[in-house]
Amino acid sequence: MINKLIDIKIVEPKILAITIKNYKKRNALSDSIKIELEKIALELRDNTDIIAIILSGEKGVFSSGNDLKDKNVFGDGLDLLKARQKNRLGLRMCDAWTNLPQITVASIEGDCIGGGVSLALSCDFRFCSENAYFFAPEVDLGITYSWGSIPKLVSLVGPAKAKLFALACKKIDAETALKWGLCEEITKDPFMLAKSFLNDLAKKPIAAQQMVKESINRQVAINEVSILEQDQVLLTKRDINNNN
């Protein structure tokens, strides 16, 4: 299946590859892409023919994050009810990907920024190219890091490193990400590694894998804070705009 925003294809028996196609904006996550990625994940949730998914961005870039040039970004210009709904699109997308039963791998090349990191954290594993880097600039923009990312980040790297990344806006190269536990492996071709890895996993009992995934996710997920974070972003941005 191919559309203007997302490329979807079978790359190995029962393994699906999903590619973000917005390279002119460094694969930024527009509202349309968020909605499409959520829709795809929800449709795949009950698809037992697909056992694993590789998520990537086209042309050597994973994602530059939330599309700040999208219409009414952060709900600007909308009434409060519509702004809250719009501001939750990223969280809904990430939740849908987090809750997929299939094993998911983010194949990360180049930019992995802000909401792109959030999407990568919603996958089970992250394989990086040598030029990949992670960066969360939200605090520099005057907002909190949201989309349900902080609990996942803390569970992977611990509180202090999570603060360095999300609070101090420290840019993390691939080597540092590997040392911190933000990615599992660095390779020249993370997509090919993901295929090989998932082919090996496919030889193991799938139902048992999915049950283990669900058990681990229950242990580390703190979803109760996620909706609050979205309102914090919305209200902070409105306060900044009103004071300018």
> Structural domains in the chain?
6-190+210-243 (3.90.226.10)
The model's pTM: 0.91
- Helices 89-98 & 31-44, crossing angle to 10 degrees? 30
**pLDDT at position 127 over 50:** yes
pLDDT of res. 220 = 77
Task: Count CA within 13 A, CB hemisphere, residue 168.
Answer: 10
18/53 Cα distance (integer angstroms): 7
In sequence order, the β-bridge partners of residue 230 are: none
The pLDDT of 122-134, averaged and rounded, is: 98
Q: In the block, which residue shows the tokens 């999208």?
A: 70
Q: Indicate if the pLDDT at residue 39 is higher than 50.
A: yes
Q: Are 75 and 234 in contact (CB under 8 A)?
A: yes
Going by C-alpha positions, the residue among 60, 55, 54, 86 that lies closest to residue 72 is: 86
Question: What contacts 91, CB < 8 A, 6 or more positions away?
Answer: 146, 147, 148, 226, 227, 229, 230
Give strand pairing partners of 12.
15
Cβ–Cβ < 8 Å for 14, 51: yes
